[in-house]
């Protein structure tokens, strides 16, 4: 029988097409008419052309931008894999709602709408306003002992992200950033990285929020044991099995959002290690998603580099950040805005009466 999660994925990507190469060529042609030496805006030109290819139009400002911060808890924290207690997930959700987290500041500065989604925090938020209430469960199970979630929970988490992406597209958003909050989720992202890319646990497992040497060594051993438990007999497990056994509810929701955003021709900005793990799963499920992805930054978490290589993405920023929340993705949106501002507002050689290249 086909698992429910596979049906959710099939529905989310129905009719998906890669970005349009005719529009990318049109964008390149327009960039070459602007008053600058050919190609001199470097990767800003690539970004503008990618967005035009995604949207099938000559984009102008303002871009309609949003960041979704998906929050959930992780059973694996029982093994002491994070420098901070699980309660911080819940506490940080409250901080997002009152506007005090790093991603709030950056979203305000750069005109990005911010949405906070409870997809599996182990705390009762009752009717707290401003939070998108989509709790699937009170966090994942301890993946060292059993699968992180059931297929039904995975399906619901994927749907949360997919439905929010569909709604965002209907509301006219052209760019979405995915962010997360979930103490313990760098351990899940490391396990996903190993399962999807075949990397060694010692290379894919970092210090997260700041483990010391001894705790870091223990975390590596735990990731090794987790992979052995779930995938000892399969060298390339199905991405949905990876998500279900060693993922997280917020990671599944981000995967669902990325798949559905691409189907809606909405660009997706990945943030750090955890959101890029969700992006890698989305691409493993549907390779056509690749052209809709932009890597906002490169995180200091060592596994992030492995995932960016796997996805063949060059990050926009490299500021030695290792925060998550969508912070790096939102910062990168300021560069993307600049790319489209230049694309749409610069004079052409003809309009400004400037001589074109003679050699
Ligand atoms: C105060 C605070 C704010 C955060 N914002 C994002 N994270 C980040 O740290 C967590 C992952 O690291 P680990 O796997 O080591 O627990 C995630 O919640 C991530 O978004 C935070 C962590 C803390 C402590
Ligand atoms: O890369 C990230 O986004 C990250 C790294 C460490 C902790 N939390 C998030």
pLDDT band (50, 70, 90) for residue 296 = very high
Nearest ligand 1 atom, CA 207: 15
CB distance 83 to 208 below 8 Å: yes
Decide: 208 in ligand 2 pocket, CB within 6 A: yes
Cα–ligand 2 centroid distance for 193 (angstroms): 14
339 CA distance to ligand 2 middle (Å): 26
User: In the prediction, which pLDDT does 181 show?
Assistant: 98
Beta carbon of 285 within 6 Å of any ligand 2 atom: no
Taking the whole predicted model, whether its pTM rises above 0.90 is answered as: yes
CA atoms within 13 A on the CB side of 288: 18
Q: What gap in Å lies between CA 335 and CA 128, rounded to an integer?
A: 34
- Taking the C-alpha atoms of residue 251 and residue 303, their distance in angstroms, rounded to an integer, is 15
How many CB atoms lie under 10 A from the CB of residue 134? Answer: 19
Atom number of ligand 1 nearest to Cα 179: 20
Q: Is 132 in the pocket of ligand 1 (CB under 6 A)?
A: no
Of the candidate ranges 126-130, 200-204, 268-272, 274-278, the one whose mean pLDDT is the lowest: 126-130
Nearest to 156 by CA among 122, 127, 117: 117
Phi, psi angles (nearest 5°) of residue 79: -90, 5
What domains lie within the chain, and their CATH numbers?
A: 62-336 (3.40.50.10210)
Confidence of residue 2 (pLDDT cuts 50, 70, 90): confident
- In the structure, what pLDDT confidence band is assigned to residue 67 with cuts at 50, 70 and 90? very high
How confident is the model at residue 126, as a pLDDT? 87
**Nearest-10 crossing angle of helices 185-197, 239-246:** 150
Count other C-beta atoms under 10 Å from residue 167's C-beta.
13
Interface ipTM: 0.99
């Amino acid at each position: 029988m086909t698992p429910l999660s596979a049906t959710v994925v099939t529905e989310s990507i129905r009719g998906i097409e890669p970005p349009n190469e005719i529009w990318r060529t049109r964008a390149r042609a327009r960039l070459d008419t602007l008053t600058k030496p050919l190609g001199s805006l470097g990767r800003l030109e690539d970004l503008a052309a990618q967005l035009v290819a995604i949207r099938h139009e000559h984009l102008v400002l303002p871009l309609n931008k949003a960041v979704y911060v998906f929050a959930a808890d992780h059973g694996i924290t029982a093994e002491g894999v994070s420098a901070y207690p699980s309660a911080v997930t819940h506490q940080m959700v409250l901080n997002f709602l009152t506007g005090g987290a790093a991603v709030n500041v950056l979203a305000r500065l750069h005109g990005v709408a911010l949405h906070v989604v409870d997809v599996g925090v182990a705390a009762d938020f009752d009717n707290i306003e401003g939070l998108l209430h989509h709790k699937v469960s009170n966090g994942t199970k301890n993946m060292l002992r059993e699968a992180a979630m059931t297929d039904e929970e995975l399906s619901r988490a994927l749907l949360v992200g997919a439905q929010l992406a569909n709604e965002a597209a209907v509301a006219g958003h052209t760019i979405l950033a995915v962010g997360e909050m979930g103490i313990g989720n760098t351990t899940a992202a490391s396990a996903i990285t190993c399962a999807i890319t075949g990397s060694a646990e010692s290379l894919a497992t970092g210090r997260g929020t700041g483990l010391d040497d001894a705790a870091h060594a223990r975390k590596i051993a735990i990731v090794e044991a987790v992979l052995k438990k779930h995938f000892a007999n399969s060298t390339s497990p199905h991405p949905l099995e990876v998500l279900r056994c060693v993922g997280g509810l917020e990671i599944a929701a981000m995967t669902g959002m990325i798949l559905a955003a691409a189907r809606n021709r909405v660009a997706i900005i990945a943030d750090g290690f955890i959101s890029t793990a969700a992006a890698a799963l989305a691409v493993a499920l549907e390779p056509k998603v690749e052209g809709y992805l932009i890597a906002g930054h490169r995180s200091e978490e060592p596994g992030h580099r492995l995932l960016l290589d796997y996805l063949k993405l060059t990050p926009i920023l490299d500021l030695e950040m290792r925060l998550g929340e969508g912070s790096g993705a939102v910062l990168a949106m300021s560069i993307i805005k600049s790319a489209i501002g230049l694309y749409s507002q610069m004079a052409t050689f003809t309009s400004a009466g400037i001589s074109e290249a003679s050699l």
